[in-house]
Structure formats: C-alpha cells, structure tokens
C-alpha cells in the first residue's frame, strides 16, 4: 500500500499497551499515537469547564477546539503540560464515561489518522485495529489477568505520587473493562485479524520482542 505501515495495539486498561507501543515505536523509529490520551484530554477539559459527562454537543465542541501538542513523551493542552494530570484515575474514569458517545468518537477520528505518516506508526487504544486503522499492517491485542493489571496500575500511580488502594483499582478496572467492552460505539474487542498476547507472565522486553518479531515476519513476507 502507498500508506505508511501501522501497528495497532489494543487491549484493556493496564495490559501494557502504552509502554509496549512506545518501545516498539522506538525500536522501529516509528511515530507513536496514544489515542487514550485524546479521550483523557477531552475528559480533563470537560472537568475543567464543568460540563456533564453526557452533554454530547459540548463534548464534541470541546474536542474540536483542543489544542494538543505531543512532544518528547509529554503532552500539552492549550500550552499547559498536563502529562501527569491526565493519568489520574478520576480522569481515566471520566475518559471511559465520555468515550461511549459515538459523536465524540467521530470527532476524534481525523486527528488520530493524521498520525499515520512515514516511516510508520504504532497506535495504542481500544479501537485502533477495529475502527481507526482497519487496514493496519499488524494488529495486536494485549491482555493480562485482573490481578496483574491492578498490581501494575498500583505501582504506576504510587510512582507518580498519587495515592491508591489495590482493592479499589481492581474494582475500577473491572468496571472500566465492562463499560469499554459493552458499549455500542467501537467497543473494546480484538479485531478478527488481530494476534492476541497474554502479558501476565511476560516482561515488557519479552512483549516488545514478540511484537517487533511479528511485524518483521509480516513485512518480510510482503
Ligand atoms: O491507560 P488505560 O488503558 O487505562 O486508558 P487509556 O488508554 O488512556 O484510555 C482511557 C479511556 O479512554 C479508556 O477507558 C477508554 O474508555 C477510552 N478510550 C477509547 O474509548 N478508545 C481509545 N482508542 C482509547 C481510549
Ligand atoms: O497502556 P496500558 O493502560 O495498557 O498500560 P501501561 O500504561 O503501559 O501500563 C502497563 C504497566 O505494566 C507499566 O508500568 C509496565 O512497565 C508494566 N508491564 C507491562 O506493560 N508489560 C509487561 N509485560 C509487564 C509489565
């Protein structure tokens, strides 16, 4: 195809998508799209403005007006570095709540596809392989047990200086899984042609190696 290659990495919360996608992008010198950050940024903006999570018209307007810059692992919203702020659990939960709205998802499509430029892209999220890049070169679906994911998220939050309780995290991530999987608009699910990898017992390095290996196999055959 004339389009730049894309690797999509979808999966539930804390399955390792972000960490793995960034490292795969580094290995291949590809661009990286953190699509969840777009939902988190919209969520943060909606909290700041103080609108209801179901006020779709205002959410769509807000999403269209967001001035976002991704650079060197940081993200700026209207000039302000919000890299840490968008990682708070309440922002993630709000992101999941507003992500059910089809009109909002629609409003974010072009912004996401614009990341697909040479030499290639690694994109992580929930619907990268199913909706945003249905013709991706390689589609990966990462999973991990609830216990492994709650433990990972706990460590991340403590490191960022947030307080967290393992029980609450475990309950919240199961609620988020349920909502993300059951919504009508672009639900969380593996694309029919995705390769699934359970990372519960894998290190980040092993996961990255597996994905890069799959990509090299696939492009060697073409
Ligand atoms: O890091 P974590 O997996 O918890 O979340 P994220 O990828 O930052 O995404 C936050 C929320 O945005 C998710 O719970 C999804 O509901 C939503 N999201 C989505 O609907 N579609 C995407 N492509 C990415 C995120
Ligand atoms: O993006 P997503 O919510 O799926 O996960 P993440 O933000 O990348 O968080 C995953 C966490 O689990 C990171 O702290 C990783 O170091 C760790 N981890 C992993 O990603 N993959 C493994 N195979 C093992 C641990």
11 is in an annotated binding site: yes
Q: Does the Cβ of 180 fall within 6 Å of ligand 1? A: yes
pLDDT of residue 73: 85
Distance CA(118)–CA(138), nearest Å, equals: 16
pLDDT of residue 69: 93
- Proximal ligand: closest to the CA of 203: 2
* Intervals of the chain under pLDDT 70: 1
Characterise 94 by phi-psi region: left (phi > 0), alpha (psi -120 to 50), beta (else).
Answer: alpha
Q: For ligand 1, atom 20, name the residue with the nearest CA.
A: 99
pLDDT of residue 135: 97
15 is in an annotated binding site: yes
Q: Does the Cβ of 140 fall within 6 Å of ligand 2? A: no
- Proximal ligand: closest to the CA of 149: 2
In DSSP terms, 198 is beta-bridged to 143
pLDDT of residue 72: 84
pLDDT of residue 1: 54
Q: Does the Cβ of 129 fall within 6 Å of ligand 1? A: no
Q: Which of 82, 170, 99, 181 is nearest to 141 (CA)?
A: 181
Q: Does the Cβ of 204 fall within 6 Å of ligand 2? A: yes
């Amino acid at each position: 195809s004339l389009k730049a290659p894309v690797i999509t990495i979808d999966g539930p919360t804390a399955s390792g998508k972000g960490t793995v996608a960034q490292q795969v992008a580094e290995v291949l010198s590809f661009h990286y799209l953190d699509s969840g950050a777009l939902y988190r940024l919209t969520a943060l903006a909606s909290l700041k403005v103080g609108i209801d999570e179901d006020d779709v018209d205002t959410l769509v307007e807000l999403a269209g007006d967001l001035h976002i810059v991704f650079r060197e692992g940081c993200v700026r919203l209207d000039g302000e570095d919000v890299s840490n702020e968008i990682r708070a659990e309440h922002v993630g939960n709000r992101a999941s709540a507003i992500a059910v709205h089809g009109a909002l998802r629609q409003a974010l499509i072009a912004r996401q596809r614009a990341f697909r430029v040479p030499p290639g892209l690694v994109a992580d999220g929930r619907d990268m392989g199913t909706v945003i890049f249905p013709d991706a070169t390689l589609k990966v679906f990462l999973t991990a047990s609830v216990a492994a994911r709650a433990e990972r998220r706990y460590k991340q939050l403590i490191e960022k200086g947030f307080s967290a309780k393992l029980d609450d995290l475990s309950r919240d991530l199961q609620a988020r899984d349920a909502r993300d999987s059951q919504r009508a608009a672009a639900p969380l699910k593996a694309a029919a042609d995705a390769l699934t990898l359970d990372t519960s017992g894998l290190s980040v390095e092993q996961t990255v190696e597996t994905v890069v290996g799959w990509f090299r196999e696939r492009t060697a055959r073409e």
